[in-house]
Amino acid sequence: MRFHRSLHGFVTPLVLIASVALITFLGVLGGDQVKTSLTEMLIRMVVVVGMWVFVGNSGVISFGHVGFMCVGAYAAAWATVDPNWKSIMLTGLPDWLQNGQYPIPFAIMGGAVLAAAVAVLLGGAIMRLSGIAASIATFAFLMIVNSVYSNWDAVTGGTSSIIGIPTVVTPWVAFTLAAGAIFVAYAFKVSRYGLMLRASREDEVAARASAINIVRVRLAAFVLSAAIVGIGGGLWAHFLGVLTADTFYLSLSFITLAMLVVGGLGSLTGAVLGVVVVTIVVEVLRALEGGIALGKITLSLPPGSQEIGLGVVLALIMIFRPSGLTRGREVLWPRRRSPMTEVSTKTATALGPGE
C-alpha cells in the first residue's frame, strides 16, 4: 500500500515519460529528417524542463537560461574534441583539458557542473531581485555570455566554429535524458524546497512571514535549473557536431520561452506539451516554406514564416489562454470515482452554490 501511494504521487512524470516515449518510438520509424527533428525536439525538451524548474516554481521569468546552455555545450565540446585540433585552435585551455579527450557522458555531466557553478556565482546577486528587475538581470547575463564566448578566441574560438565534436546523440539518447529531466523536475516540485518556492511565488510577504528564506530556495532552484539546461547544451553540441556562440542567443531564447509559455508556466505538463506543440507548428511552417507540389504548381510560404507563425500562435495563446494550454494543471490518470463521491457531486450540483 505504501509503495502504491508513493507511485501514485509520481503519476504525472510517469505519464509524461510514457507519452514522450511513444512519440519517440513513432518518430524513429520515420525518415532521417523526422529523426533529426525529433532529436532536436527532445533536446529542447531537456532545456525547457530545466527552465521550468526555476521559472515555473518561482514565477520569475528568466531570459538568460540559454546562456547556461551555451556554457554546458562548450564545456562538453572542450572535453571531447580531438586534442590535436585543440592544441592549434584553443590554446588558452588548461593542459589537462587541451591534451585530453574524455568520455562523452563525463563531458556532458562536466557541462552541467560548470553551468551550475556559474549559476551559484550569478544567483547570489540575482536571486535578491524580484519581478522585472530579476528578468532584466538574467537577460544581461545572456548578453555577457554571448559577448565573452564570441570574443575569447583562445578558449572558445571566438566567432569561428568549434568543429569535430562527436555526433553521438540519437533520438533514444535524447529521450533518456529528457525522461531524467522530467523526473528530476517533478521531484523538485513535490519537495519541501519546491513547495516553499511556490509559496513565495504566490505571496512573497506571507512567505517571508512564514520564515521561508526566499533567496535560498530561489538559488537552489536556479542552480538545479542551470545544471539541467547545461545537460541540454552538452546534448546539443554532440547532436550538431559544430558550435558557434551566436547559436545560443536571441532566436533560441525566444523559441524556448515560447514553448514554456504556450504549454503553460504553471505545470511541468505545460512545459512538455509546449515543446511538442511548438515543434509541430515550426516543422509544418518549415515544410511550407520549402514548398508543397500540387501537380505542376508549387505552393510555398515566404522566408521568415516560421517566426511569424510562432509569433501569431504565441499572441493567440496570450489572448485566449493566458495560463497556457494546460492552464497550470498536471496530467493524471483518470481515477474511478466511488458511488459516494458521485452522489455528493450530484447533490452539490443540484443544491447550487448558495445552498
Taking residues 243-268, report their average pLDDT: 92
Q: Which percentage of the chain shows pLDDT scores above 90?
A: 65
CA dist., res. 243 & res. 254, Å (int): 19
Specify the pLDDT at position 204: 87
Q: Which percentage of the chain shows pLDDT scores above 70?
A: 90
Specify the pLDDT at position 228: 97
CA dist., res. 192 & res. 187, Å (int): 10
Element (H, E) at 294: strand 292-294
What's CA 88's distance to the chain center, in Å? 34
Residue with the larger pLDDT of the pair 336 and 130: 130
Structure confidence by residue, pLDDT tens digits, 195-228? 999 999 888 888 888 888 999 999 999 999 999 9
CA dist., res. 69 & res. 243, Å (int): 12
Taking residues 241-267, report their average pLDDT: 92
Structure confidence by residue, pLDDT tens digits, 282-333? 888 888 887 777 667 777 777 777 888 888 888 888 888 888 899 888 887 6
Structure confidence by residue, pLDDT tens digits, 157-201? 988 889 999 999 999 999 999 999 999 999 999 999 999 999 998
Asked whether 37 and 283 are in contact (CB, 8 A), the reply is yes
Specify the pLDDT at position 299: 72
Asked whether 182 and 1 are in contact (CB, 8 A), the reply is no
Structure confidence by residue, pLDDT tens digits, 61-111? 999 999 999 999 999 999 999 999 999 999 999 999 989 899 999 999 999
DSSP lists the bridge partners of residue 293 as 298
Joined together, the cell numbers standing for residue 12 give 504525472
241, pLDDT greater than 50: yes
pTM over 0.85: yes
